[in-house]
Structure 1
Amino acid sequence: MKNLVTKNARVLYVPELRLVELKCDGFLSYEDVATVAEYAHKMIQFYKLTKCIVNLQHIRRYAADSEEYLRNIWYGKLLLAGVRQIAFVVPEDVLGRYSMERVHTSDAVKKIRRHYFSDEASAKAWLSNPEA
C-alpha cells in the first residue's frame, strides 16, 4: 500500500517500527481530515498494525466537524482495527492543543494506550520499546 502525501498531511507506513505515522500541518478542512484519517485506518488494517504516531505538532486547530468525526467515529474504528498504542506529538499552537484535548474525551481514545510527546523522536522511541 502506498503512502499518502497531500499539501498539509502525510500518512506513512514505517516498516522498521511496524506503525503508521500520520502528520498534519497548518489547517485541515473537514474533508482533508476525513480523507487522511480514513487512509490511515485502511493502512492500519492492510498491515495489521497495533500502533501509530499522530503528529500534530504543526497543526493550528481542527475544523469544527473534524473534532466530532475524530472523537465519535475515527478513534472507534482504530480500536476495532486493533490499535492498542498511539503516540501523539502535541501541537505547539494553543488552539491546536485545545482542539486535540477536546477530541481525546471520547471513550474509544481512552481505551487505547497513549502517551503525549513534544517531538517525534521521543514518540517513536516510546513505541519501539517492547515494554511500552
Structure 2
Amino acid sequence: MIQTKTIENLVTDNAKVVLDHQTSSLHVSLSGFIPFKQMESIIHHEFEMIRFFQLSKCLIDLRGIKVYAPGTPELIQTVWFPRVKEEGVQYIAFVVPEDVFGQASMNKAHDESDKKENINVKYFKDLISAKKWLMQPS
C-alpha cells in the first residue's frame, strides 16, 4: 500500500498558515500577541509547508501584530530568514502593521536580515498590492 504524505494548513486563534493557490505562495497571517514557544511552532509549520509544496514565495501579513514576544525578533533573524532561504524561498511580500509599535517590532525582527539572506523582499500596506507583486512573472 502506498502512503502519501499530506500537510495541513495551520489555523489557530492568532495564526493562519495556508497554501495560497492564487499566488502559489505560503500565506501567513499573524495577529495579537504570540508567545515565543507558539511562534517557534508556527515557523516550523511554515518550513514544513514550504518544503512539502516546494514554494518559492511567501506572503506574510503582519497587520495584526502589535508587539513580538521576547526572543521572537532574534528567532526571525537567526532562524526564520536563513531557513526560508535554505528551503528555496526567493520572494517574500510583507504586509506591514499599521500600528507604530507593530512596525517597530517588525523592523527590529527584520533588521537587515532580508538583505543578508539575499531574498527579494518587499513591504506593502495592503494585501492586494502584495499579491499582485507575487503574481508577476519572475
- TM-score tier by shorter-chain length is over 0.9
1:117 aligns with 2:124: yes
TM-score by length of 2: 0.90
Counterpart mapping for 1:3-82 below 5 A: 3-82=9-88
The residue aligned with 2:3 is: none
Tell me, yes or no, if the aligned pair for 2:72 and 2:109 is still in contact at 8 Å: no
* CA positional deviation for 1:16: 3.0
Task: Report the Cα distance in structure 2 between the residues aligned to 1:112 and 1:101, rounded to whole angstroms.
Answer: 16
| CA offsets 1:38-85 (integer angstroms, 9 cap, x no match) | 111110000101000110011111112111111111110000001000
The residue aligned with 1:90 is: 96
Equivalent pairs counted in the alignment come to 130
Which 4+ residue blocks in structure 1 deviate beyond 4 angstroms? none
Give unpaired runs (5+ residues) of structure 2.
1-6
The residue aligned with 2:8 is: 2
Tell me, yes or no, if the aligned pair for 2:31 and 2:63 is still in contact at 8 Å: yes
Task: Report the Cα distance in structure 1 between the residues aligned to 2:121 and 2:60, rounded to whole angstroms.
Answer: 10
Structure with greater strand share of residues? 1
TM-score by length of 1: 0.94
Tell me, yes or no, if the aligned pair for 1:8 and 1:28 is still in contact at 8 Å: yes
Q: CA RMSD in A?
A: 1.1
Provide the secondary structure at the position in 2 that maps to 1:64. Answer: coil
Give unpaired runs (5+ residues) of structure 1.
none
Letter in 2 for 1:126: W
Letter in 2 for 1:117: F
Q: Report the structure number with the largest CA radius of gyration.
A: 2
Task: Report the Cα distance in structure 1 between the residues aligned to 2:95 and 2:48, rounded to whole angstroms.
Answer: 21
